[in-house]
Amino acid sequence: MITLREKLTNISMALIFVLSLLLGLASLVQASGETISSSKTERAVFAGGCFWCMEGPFDKLPGVISTRSGYTAGHVKNPSYRQVSAGRTGHTEAVEIVFDPNKVSFDQLLKVFWRNIDPLDAKGQFCDKGSQYRAGIFYQNESQQASAESSLAMLKNSRRFQKPIVTEITRGSVFYPAEDYHQDYYLKNPVRYKYYRFSCGRDKRLEALWSE
């Protein structure tokens, strides 16, 4: 026969076991919460001529969460595509990249950026000419600035090009998203996009610039 003390002991042990489980669950929840709160994203803004052509290369990178076409480095609030394309607002077509720095670094984004622009063209990019198509790195913080300037110095020191590199490195300003029909254009209108890209001579020029 189980004595009262034994019953109380068993009950106490059971309560201790349940309490341990609850404490363990609480620790897991807290750890999960700390993981979520510690995870962060960063922004990068690059310009490389037609923004349609700049989304795809970054979308392919693991760690890139989203890309968005828009306008930056101008003096008109909430500009429209028609205003920017006329070249009177000071903006350039650009792409905003949201990324997880634990999965992809800003330095990796810079490598993709350089390989998708013509750094020697001061008049625009490929078949698109005008300041609204100028290439640039629009850094969001001092760390990005240092990385951008370092990557530019490395490219200059490589002596790959005989002509001067004219790509802009500027502190980021307001980024205005472009109209909806411009977003993910290369996915929504693949035939028109490929025709534009081919007729603009973009890939031919990139091959000439960057092929080993």
Active site residues: 50
Q: What type of residue is 128?
A: D
DSSP H helices, 39-105, are: 52-59, 81-85
- Please name the residue that has the structure tokens 């909806």: 180
Measured between alpha carbons, how far is 65 from 100 in angstroms, rounded to an integer?
Answer: 7
Amino acid at 152: L
Could you give the 3-state DSSP secondary structure of residue 4? helix
Residue 130, both tokens: 């005008």
Whether the CA torsion 51, 54, 56, 60 is positive or negative: it is negative
Task: Describe the crossing of helices 52-59 and 190-199 by its angle, rounded to 10 degrees.
Answer: 110
Neighbours of 76 (CB within 10 A): 14
Judged on CB neighbours under 10 Å (0-12, 13-18, 19+), 99 is: buried
**DSSP structural state of residue 131:** G
